[in-house]
């Protein structure tokens, strides 16, 4: 019913996460009204991402080059690795500006139910880096879910006999949250990991 | 902070309606994980829309050609014009499949507050069609807002001295809606336009 080129654009928009048929149609009809230059820019932006974005050879972060800026930098502490699930997570810590080490992207979490084992994520690459790069601390910053905890346990077991300090980020009640909205598992963790105040 | 080509893609996604910074970042990071062919298709889909989508020379609908399929069709009643605000509205009626006439896209509504007058939308083109194409009925299917009502009043005034029947779609309580959720203006219209049942 729609003109063919519009139909194809709608189908492509539907590939995006959280974009259903209705939204894709709305976006496509809006794009028809963009001026031609804006559409050219948009089309080129996508093909440039296709051509230029790579995974950093060292940490697995995304970069326009072979190695990302963090791994290239001389001012970062190369002996501390913060381990994240996805490349996007890196930017959460970079925005904070409180971490001055380097990163490692696992590209997933161990999830037996989904058939994802340790060999499906970049754990062996992490071990190589730890063995070869004089790493002194590994900070595990994975989400506190079953998969996240499993993966953190797995990595810490692997490093048990090494000299590397393995830490994980704290689980607990987030700042500014009303206690009544906290789930019981988080509350249990928060009590288990309570801190002495005097 | 993000690689340059990713940043540009995020900026382009932010141009879309209802897509803010956070969503644009989420979509862009997801697109990085698309395979290259999918990104090529997406990029091409946008440039194809740029190159191929035109406004129908007759009704102002969107088409891959010079004249849209509805205007080209021999099986449509060319003497009845249904007037809509936006090209997208046409597809609402086409999906219903109950209207067999032709369309006219105004490309907006009269809105003095926004500085949009009758000359800014395609009313004169509509009059040309009515005068030249033996039109017998004009159905105004604009939304029942101040702008919609103003525009419908304006067009019906223009056609007062002509032989053309001017109708507008009914305003009232939508099917399946609980009465308590209907705004008072709609309810007032529904009472004003009540139908005799016996």
Can you tell me the ipTM of this complex? Answer: 0.80
Q: What is the CATH number of domain B70-168?
A: 3.40.1360.10
Chain A 124-183, residues with CB within 8 Å of chain B CB atoms: none
CATH fold of A6-35, please? Helicase, Ruva Protein; domain 3 (1.10.8)
C-alpha–C-alpha distance, residues B142 and A1, integer Å: 22
pTM over 0.90: no
Distance, CA of A142 to CA of A168 (rounded, Å): 8
Indicate the DSSP class of residue B181. G
The domain spans of chain A are 6-35, 75-168
Q: Does domain A75-168 have CATH number 3.40.1360.10?
A: yes
DSSP one-letter string for A37-59: HHHHHHHHHHHHHHHH-EE-TTT
Burial of B156 (0-12, 13-18, 19+ CB in 10 A): middle
Cβ contact B169:B143 at 8 Å: no
Convert the pLDDT of each residue in A33-57 to its tens digit.
Answer: 999 999 999 999 999 999 999 999 9
d(CA B169, CA B17): 28
Q: Tell whether A94 lies on the interface with B, counting CB pairs under 8 A.
A: yes
Q: Which residue is it, tokens 């500085």? A: B115
pLDDT-derived band at B17 (thresholds 50, 70, 90) equals very high
pLDDT of B157 higher than 80: yes
**For position B98, what pLDDT does the model report?**
87
- Whether the per-residue pLDDT at B138 is higher than 90: the answer is yes
Tell whether B97 is within 8 A of chain A (Cβ): no
Asked if B16 has any chain A CB less than 8 Å from its own CB, the reply is yes
Mean pLDDT computed over B174-190: 85
A50 interface with B at CB cutoff 8 Å:
yes
The pLDDT score that the predictor gives to residue A63 is 95
The tokens describing B86, both together, are 């936006």
**Least CB-CB distance to B12: which of A23, A30, A42?**
A42
Mean pLDDT to the nearest integer, B152-166: 92
- Cα A70 → chain centroid: 15
- pLDDT at res. B110: 96
Measured in residues, chain B has a length of: 198
Residues making up chain A, counted from first to last = 198
pLDDT number for residue B164: 93
Nearest-angstrom CA–CA distance, B39 and B19: 19
pLDDT of amino acid A14:
96
- Give the residue among B37, B28, B23, B35 at the shortest CA–CA distance from B9: B28
In 10 A of CB A75, how many CB atoms? 5
- Whole-number CA gyration radius for chain A: 22
Residue B189 above 90 pLDDT? no
Residues A165-194: tens digit of each pLDDT? 999 988 888 888 888 888 888 888 888 888
> What are the pLDDT digits (tens) for B63-106?
999 999 999 999 999 999 999 999 999 998 998 888 999 999 99
Residue B194 binned pLDDT confidence (cut-offs 50, 70, 90): confident
Mean pLDDT estimate for chain B: 92
Q: Do B46 and A11 touch (CB under 8 A)?
A: no
Q: Report how far residue B187's alpha carbon sits from residue B31's, in angstroms, rounded to the nearest whole number.
A: 46
- What secondary structure letter does DSSP report for A111? B
Whether domain B4-52 has CATH 1.10.8.420: yes
> Which pLDDT belongs to residue B186?
85
User: CA-to-CA distance for B95 and B61, rounded, in angstroms?
Assistant: 15
> What's the Rg (C-alpha) of chain B?
22
Q: How far from chain centre, in Å, is Cα B77?
A: 20
For an interface test with A, which of B5, B10, B54 has the most A Cβ atoms less than 10 Å from its Cβ? B5
- Cα angle for residues B91, A5, B52 (degrees, 5° grid): 105
Residue B198: pLDDT above 80?
no
> Within an 8 Å CB–CB cutoff, is residue A49 touching chain B?
yes
User: What value, to the nearest 5°, has the Cα angle with vertex B67 and ends B61 and B70?
Assistant: 65
CB atoms within 10 A of CB A122: 20
Is A198's pLDDT higher than 80? no
Q: A91 at the B interface (CB within 8 A)?
A: yes
Please, what is the average pLDDT of chain A? 92
Q: Which of A119, A109, A189 is nearest to A147 (CA)?
A: A109
If you measure CA to CA, which chain B residue comes closest to A70?
B1
For A87-106, the pLDDT digits (tens) are: 999 998 998 888 999 999 99
CB B102 within 8 A of CB B121: no
Contact B17 A34 (CB under 8 A): no
């Amino acid at each position: 019913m729609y003109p063919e080129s519009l139909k194809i654009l709608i189908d492509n928009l539907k590939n995006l996460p959280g974009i259903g048929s209705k939204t894709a149609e709305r976006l496509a009809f809006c794009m028809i009204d963009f001026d031609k230059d804006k559409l050219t820019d948009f089309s080129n932006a996508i093909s440039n991402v296709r051509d230029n974005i790579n995974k950093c050879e060292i940490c697995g972060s995304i970069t326009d080059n072979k190695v990302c800026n963090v791994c290239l930098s001389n001012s970062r502490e190369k002996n501390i690795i913060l381990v994240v699930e996805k490349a996007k997570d890196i930017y959460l810590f970079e925005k904070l500006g409180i971490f001055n080490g380097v990163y490692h992207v696992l590209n997933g979490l161990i999830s037996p139910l989904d058939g994802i084992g340790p060999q499906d994520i970049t754990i062996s690459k992490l071990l190589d880096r730890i063995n070869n790069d004089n790493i002194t601390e590994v900070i595990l910053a994975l989400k506190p879910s079953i998969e996240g905890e499993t993966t953190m346990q797995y990595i810490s077991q692997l490093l048990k006999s090494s000299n590397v300090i393995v830490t994980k980020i704290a689980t607990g009640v987030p700042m500014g949250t009303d206690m009544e909205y906290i789930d019981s598992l988080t509350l249990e963790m928060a009590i288990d990991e309570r801190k002495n105040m005097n």
